[in-house]
């Protein structure tokens, strides 16, 4: 019986298989089937790691209490910035706030002092209706946002809903300035 050696070298995978067999034994086909199974298992593991890494982004959403921030020269600096996931951002003190939700369906709550709130992408819920005399600027931006600025304090807020198709705004009639891009208006 003649012995032959088959050398399979895969330099990209850093795998070298050296297999010695008899020419009539048929073990070569079994070896190739085993190699295909190993490739399938490796591919399945890679796909599982990628799926877990992508799903991990959801876990990166924040639930944050925002503290007011004033930058150099008295300019308002962002004191609270969300993530690409669905965040909960809440004004937590009596300072001016500049809150940015970023992407995701965020829940943003302003404080009792003047706030600048920017929802950004996503179907955001923005509330700034504490009964205190503050002047708020709210931008919903993309998505179908729900914005609540009905305070009943006689001080006008400004709301720009953005390009969403069915943004809702709850506001003080005759006091607040509501842009025409707020499709559903609920004055109080």
- Dmax over CA atoms of the chain, in Å, equals 102
Q: What pLDDT sits at residue 18?
A: 42
Three-state DSSP class for residue 58? helix
Return d(Cα 16, Cα 162) in angstroms, integer.
Answer: 60
Angle formed at CA 54 by CA 52 and CA 56, multiple of 5 degrees: 70
**Tens-digit pLDDT profile for residues 28-70:** 666 666 667 777 777 677 777 777 666 655 547 889 888 776 5
Are 91 and 97 in contact by the 8 Å Cβ rule? The answer is yes
User: Which one is predicted more confidently, 9 or 109?
Assistant: 109
In the prediction, which pLDDT does 135 show?
A: 85
* Tens-digit pLDDT profile for residues 127-139: 988 877 888 899 9
Q: Please give the pLDDT value at position 24.
A: 46
Would residue 102 be called left, alpha or beta, if left means φ above 0 and alpha means ψ between -120 and 50 degrees? left
pLDDT confidence of residue 118: 93
Three-state SS for 62-91 is: CEEEECCCECHHHCECCCEECCCCCCEEEE
Q: Which has the higher per-residue pLDDT, 133 or 85? A: 85
Alpha-carbon span 168 to 14, nearest angstrom: 59
Using CA atoms, how far residue 157 sits from 14, 42, 87, 115, 116, in Å, is 65, 58, 24, 10, 10
Helix (H, G, I), strand (E, B) or coil at 187: strand
Query: pLDDT over 90 for what percent of the chain?
Result: 39
pLDDT at 54: 63
Q: How confident is the prediction for the chain on average, in pLDDT?
A: 78
| pLDDT tier at 15, thresholds 50, 70, 90 | very low
Question: For position 76, what pLDDT does the model report?
Answer: 53
Q: Say whether pTM exceeds 0.85.
A: no
Residue 8 has pLDDT above 60, yes or no: no
């Amino acid at each position: 019986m003649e012995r032959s050696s088959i050398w399979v070298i895969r330099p990209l995978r850093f795998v070298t298989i050296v297999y010695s067999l008899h020419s009539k034994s048929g073990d070569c086909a079994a070896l190739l089937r085993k190699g295909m199974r190993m490739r399938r298992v490796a591919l399945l593991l890679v796909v599982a790691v990628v799926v877990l890494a992508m799903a991990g982004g959801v876990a990166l959403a924040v639930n944050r209490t925002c503290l007011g921030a004033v930058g150099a020269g008295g300019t308002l600096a962002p004191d609270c910035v969300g993530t690409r996931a669905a965040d909960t951002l809440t004004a937590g003190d009596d300072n001016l706030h500049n809150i940015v939700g970023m992407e995701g369906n965020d829940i943003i709550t302003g404080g009792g002092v003047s706030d600048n709130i920017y929802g950004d992408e996503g179907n955001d819920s923005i509330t700034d209706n504490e009964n205190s005399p503050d002047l708020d600027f709210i931008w919903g931006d993309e998505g179908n946002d729900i914005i609540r600025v009905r305070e009943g304090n006689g001080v006008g807020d400004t709301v720009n809903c953005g390009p969403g198709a069915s943004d809702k705004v709850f506001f003080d009639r005759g006091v607040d300035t509501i842009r025409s891009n707020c499709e559903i208006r609920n004055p109080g």
